Amino acid sequence: MKPTRRKSVLEKIARKNLADTAKLKTQLVEQQNHLIEIQDLIVRVRDLQENAQESQFVSPTELRAARWYSLKLSEQFTILNNRVEFIESEINNLRSMSRTQSLKNTKLDKLIAEAKNMIRIERDREQDKKASFVYGVKA
């Protein structure tokens, strides 16, 4: 493959990888924001659980309602904790994918630099051939 063709192909791949990296970073930020929101909800549910336990019950219906409310709060707490675990695993996956993309981008940058260097060397050879032809010197 000619160095100019190789360089253009590598540059296109590098641009595509940069776009993918930007998408990954956007997804990572969204997941981190979502994680913060869920952690705030967990704090609210804990507060509600603490406030619900302090009540004095006068009738059995109040006790039943309080138990139902407590059960629903514990279910929500469990669901939110599961979401946190899932989002944390997603964040870890996105981070590893981002690291992989950045390594690919680094390798591509090196290959592009090598291709540019090869193009420069080829141009110099062509100029030397032209110069030696003009002056009648054999290469």
Locus of tokens 């641009």 = 15
pLDDT (mean) for 91-110: 92
**Which bin fits 137, alpha (ψ -120 to 50), beta or left (φ > 0)?**
beta
Q: Where is average pLDDT lowest: 18-32, 60-74, 82-96?
A: 60-74
Whether 100 has a pLDDT exceeding 80, the answer reads yes
- pLDDT number for residue 137: 53
Determine the Cα–Cα distance for residues 53 and 69; give it in Å rounded to an integer: 10
Please write the tens of the pLDDT for every residue from 41-71.
999 999 988 887 766 778 888 888 888 988 9
- Per-domain residue ranges of the chain: 3-130
CATH code assigned to 3-130: 1.10.287
Output DSSP code: residue 138.
Answer: -
